Structure 1
Amino acid sequence: MLLRRAGLSAASRVIDVGAGASTLVDDLVALGVAHVTVLDLSTQALSVALNRVGERGDQVTWLPGDLLTMPLPQAGFDLWHDRAVLHFGVQPRYV
């Protein structure tokens, strides 16, 4: 599994940006990663994921919001995952 090859541990800090219907959060929690953050514009998508993960979702930080305006800690994550998110954020002021 790719996540195991990434060298993640319980202490790893992982963020999944634009998670939507992705099941990556399920895999991270099952792997024992204790510091998982999921960020998505859609509160509905976050709710679906939280319901799917169930009680294990208590160890996940669920952030509804826009990546471009969300205050995230610098060097706050060991692994960043996004699925086709960054190209949506290209605006003249960021280029």
Structure 2
Amino acid sequence: MLKISNRAIWGVFVILVLSLSVANVSQVGVTEVDLSTAVGIWLFGEDSKDNFVKTSQKLLDSRVEFSVLCWVNLGKLTGERIGLVGQNDSPEFGFSNPN
């Protein structure tokens, strides 16, 4: 099981689809996602709180292919460097100087 906590994505609805089976994920937060049979991570920030998924593994390393889909409310984004989805530069998608 994987749990979702409230911290890192700003008012964003994210679907990260990976073809993988994951063991040893860390459990943080309150919403569970079972990655042993699913091929996706679903993140909902409709409550205007920051949300993120944390695992004990780097899920995007050495991937041949993956798909990322996200909807962003640009009116609520502030800051010089905004990471929306990814794995801290490996890969990470977002905005640099979005103004």
The answer to whether the superposition gives a TM-score over 0.5 is: no
User: Normalized against structure 2, the TM-score is what?
Assistant: 0.29
Structure with a larger share of its residues in helix = 1
Structure with a larger share of its residues in strand = 2
User: Normalized against structure 1, the TM-score is what?
Assistant: 0.29
